[in-house]
Amino acid sequence: MVETNWCITLDKIDESFYPEIAANDAQRQEWVELYAIDEIAGDLMTVAYSNPLTVDFLKQNKNLVLDTKHFTTEFKERLVASIDNLDEETNGLLIHSENFQALNLLQEKYREKISGIYIDPPYNTDATEIVYKNGYKDSSWCSLINDRMAIAKKLMHKDACACTTIDECEVNNLAFIISQVMGGYILRPVIIEYNHRGRVKSNFAITHEYALWAIPQGRDLITRKRETSDDIRRNLRRTGTDSTRQASPKQFYGIEVDNDTLAIVGVTEPLPLGTPIPEHNNPKTTMVWPIDEQGVERRWYYGSERVLIEAAEGTVWAKRIKGEIQIHYHQDGKPKMRKSVWVGKLLDASTYGSELLNDIFGMAKADFSFPKSIYAVKECLEAMSYNPKAVFLDYFAGSGTTGHAVIDLNREDGGNRKYILVEMGNYFNTVTKPRIKKVVYAKDWKDGKPQNRNTGVSQIFKYIRLESYEDTLNNIELSRTPEQEKQLRMDASFFNEYLVSYMLDIESRGSLLNLDRFKEPFAYKMKIAENNETKETTIDLVETFNYLLGLAVTRQKAAARFNAVPDPKGEYENAVMLTEDKEGKYTFKTVEGIMPNGDKALVIWRNLTNDLAADNAALDAFFVKYRAETKNSEFDIIYVNGDNNLENLKSEKEQWKVRLIELEFKKRMFEGV
């Protein structure tokens, strides 16, 4: 893992950090670019924008999204360490990576935890091949989808569904892949009208695409579509069986309506059977009776008392239709099974995809083609699960519509759904991530500017960058004997077999994961290409190991440095005391969390010198100090880099096990678990 950073709204950050944040000019500039905060003018109740920013300004704008990339590593670690239950508090994860690699990284941490998968993969058209790696076509496209779908399936909860949208060019291939890969699932196609104008094709203007749903066999999991008040236009006058005046005389009465305001101002007493309707002599109001267009005397759905109560609540109202005053009522809609053809203006990808993106970024900056309608994606996610704590995955994230949809769903009902977005394109940093930052800050946008700064949501999302396949090749260093070199030059066929079966597996392994460099884990470097330049880059071993373990992080402490001095009162030989010092010789960093099997784990990272005895004396002192300060010693397993004697500090009642990070890292990276 090349890089890990966090985006956090200010309301999630302790105000003791605010002076440092206000003084950070790079963060201020980003907020100006993303949120136009320089347009916030002051008044008696509002603190105005200024350069530099003030702490008071930050306190009044707590939906601003801080990005730790603008700060030092030391600040980032302190900030992350201040957040308890870190993984639980984190709302989203963005991964800048080729998705096959990203899905493998997620295996331990999210196995059988994903509530639903929505993807809109790139696909071939009759005009151009998709741009993904070297440009896939036909069978190669099938291989691309097949491999990723097979890995993603392992992440799905037993009640999870997967939805893949596709056009006619690859729908048959995709259907075949799903039927082969998704054993135990049934395939259900849905047609979505996403382009009302039509895409010009031979013979037909194409207006639709397909959403292929993989649903666990024998399960009724697709949620029902809820009617809204806009869908329900019901006249309070009954129709059908038992709807006449004779069926219920007590519900035959007049409802008096103000002619100007259409307010319901009163009701009459129920009119007994046989009694004619009296004349109404008030010119300012109209008396409405439950009589239909054919003159048949019917009855109201509600009694007169209930009509007055619900009129006051706004759930019964008068409406003038073609000059006639009618009485309407609202009733919660009955959930209906979703249809296999979806139509409606909100599904239009031009208006609520491309134009929406232009509104968010401004016309000149929305560098992304053919985003999905936000409403189409929201409907797909709602169809998967109404669970307010659902976790959704999109491993072809594109512009980030899926993350946007999750955030909007949470904004609407106060849910805590989470999103995982994977995207390899360069627009990850110019569209995908900035879009999430923007829609967290405000709901509605126009010309790249927020329309209401009071619609932000509280949020923490993490974004990580993984090394590419090319980066891996750049870091391979081979080790072979002169005899091996001679044999390879002599026999080309032997070389091809050797390349796959031995060279990339055995000879290069030490360069891909150099265990000797775990002595200085905070300075582990690889050659990484960025902006057409390859340079030595520090790798985040701590975060990588968390994912290899599948650790649900509860607390991640900032790295701290110490010096060691002999402890005359120590209970064991060579005991030392530690004193914190920014220039200290020994560095420690800890992570606490829960393993996939429920075990409580502590991970201790440290730098090592060439003096094993001194290193372990410092480790022992740190461990004793840590347990005393955190008042937490109930761990099932402890991971630490470098040979150590932590087992010797265990009391008779304690059962924790100690494992070497290096060996565990190697096993999980190359051998699986």
Distance from C-alpha of 88 to C-alpha of 29, rounded to nearest angstrom: 30
Has residue 325 got a pLDDT over 90?
Answer: yes
- Contact of 95 with 489, CB cutoff 8 Å: no
Q: Which residues pair with 639 in a beta bridge?
A: 603, 659
Averaged pLDDT, 580-602: 95
Alpha helices in 125-270, H assignment, sequence order: 139-153, 171-181
Averaged pLDDT, 609-625: 93
Averaged pLDDT, 225-237: 68
Please report which confidence band the pLDDT of residue 134 belongs to, taking 50, 70 and 90 as the band edges: very low
Question: Which has the closest alpha carbon to 9: 63, 61, 58, 45?
Answer: 63
pLDDT number for residue 281? 93
**Residue 70 CB: number of other CB atoms within 10 A?**
17
Listed range (134-138, 372-376, 443-447, 665-669) with the worst mean pLDDT: 134-138
Q: Which CATH number is correct for 84-226+340-465, 3.40.50.150, 1.10.10.10, 3.20.20.140, 3.30.450.90?
A: 3.40.50.150
Helix axes of 401-413 and 374-384: crossing angle, nearest 10 degrees: 70
User: What count of Cα atoms within 13 Å lies in the side-chain half-sphere of residue 444?
Assistant: 3
Please report which confidence band the pLDDT of residue 405 belongs to, taking 50, 70 and 90 as the band edges: very high
Structure tokens at 116: 């639903």
Distance from C-alpha of 422 to C-alpha of 519, rounded to nearest angstrom: 32
Averaged pLDDT, 368-383: 93
Please report which confidence band the pLDDT of residue 322 belongs to, taking 50, 70 and 90 as the band edges: confident
Please report which confidence band the pLDDT of residue 501 belongs to, taking 50, 70 and 90 as the band edges: very low
Distance from C-alpha of 560 to C-alpha of 630, rounded to nearest angstrom: 15
Averaged pLDDT, 624-652: 87
Question: Which has the closest alpha carbon to 417: 77, 32, 7, 92?
Answer: 92
Percent share of the chain, pLDDT over 70: 88
* Average pLDDT across the chain, whole number: 88
Query: Would you give the end-to-end CA distance of the chain in angstroms?
Result: 19
Q: Can you give the C-alpha Rg of the chain in angstroms? A: 32
Listed range (51-60, 139-148, 365-374) with the worst mean pLDDT: 365-374
Distance from C-alpha of 382 to C-alpha of 405, rounded to nearest angstrom: 10
Distance from C-alpha of 228 to C-alpha of 217, rounded to nearest angstrom: 30
Has residue 161 got a pLDDT over 80?
Answer: yes
Greater model confidence, 418 or 321: 418
- Contact of 548 with 665, CB cutoff 8 Å: yes
141: which residues sit within 8 A by CB, 6+ positions away? 123, 124, 130, 170, 173
Q: What is the pTM of this model?
A: 0.82
CA distances from 556 to 336, 414, 559, 591 (A): 46, 27, 9, 4
Structure tokens at 33: 């670019």
pLDDT number for residue 369? 79
pLDDT number for residue 512? 53
- Contact of 331 with 235, CB cutoff 8 Å: no
Tokens 């073609």, residue located = 322
Has residue 540 got a pLDDT over 80?
Answer: yes
- Contact of 137 with 129, CB cutoff 8 Å: yes
Averaged pLDDT, 530-549: 87
Tokens 């002619």, residue located = 259
Tokens 């995709």, residue located = 174
Has residue 141 got a pLDDT over 60?
Answer: yes
Listed range (477-486, 496-505, 613-622) with the worst mean pLDDT: 496-505
Listed range (135-139, 187-191, 538-542) with the worst mean pLDDT: 135-139
Has residue 349 got a pLDDT over 90?
Answer: yes
**Which 8-state DSSP code applies to residue 458?**
-
pLDDT number for residue 654? 82
pLDDT number for residue 470? 57
Structure tokens at 195: 């382009």
pLDDT number for residue 368? 77
Listed range (81-85, 120-124, 151-155, 364-368) with the worst mean pLDDT: 364-368
- Contact of 349 with 195, CB cutoff 8 Å: yes
Has residue 230 got a pLDDT over 70?
Answer: no
pLDDT number for residue 127? 43
Peptide bond into 52 cis (omega under 30): yes
Helix axes of 25-35 and 432-441: crossing angle, nearest 10 degrees: 80
Has residue 379 got a pLDDT over 60?
Answer: yes
Helix axes of 139-153 and 171-181: crossing angle, nearest 10 degrees: 40
Please report which confidence band the pLDDT of residue 241 belongs to, taking 50, 70 and 90 as the band edges: confident
Single-letter residue type at 35: Y
Has residue 233 got a pLDDT over 60?
Answer: no
Counting DSSP H helices and E strands in the chain, the numbers are 21, 30
Using DSSP's 3-state secondary structure scheme, residue 495 falls into helix
CA distances from 241 to 248, 298, 568 (A): 12, 11, 95
Greater model confidence, 539 or 33: 33
pLDDT number for residue 671? 65
Distance from C-alpha of 658 to C-alpha of 43, rounded to nearest angstrom: 60
Distance from C-alpha of 288 to C-alpha of 253, rounded to nearest angstrom: 9
Has residue 640 got a pLDDT over 60?
Answer: yes
pLDDT number for residue 36? 97
pLDDT number for residue 135? 44
The three-point CA angle 184-187-191 to 5° equals 160
Greater model confidence, 71 or 633: 71
Domain layout of the chain by residue ranges: 84-226+340-465, 234-329, 471-512, 537-671
Question: Which has the closest alpha carbon to 4: 155, 112, 105?
Answer: 105
530-548 CB burial, b ≥16 within 10 A, e <16:
eeeeeeebebbbbbbbbbb
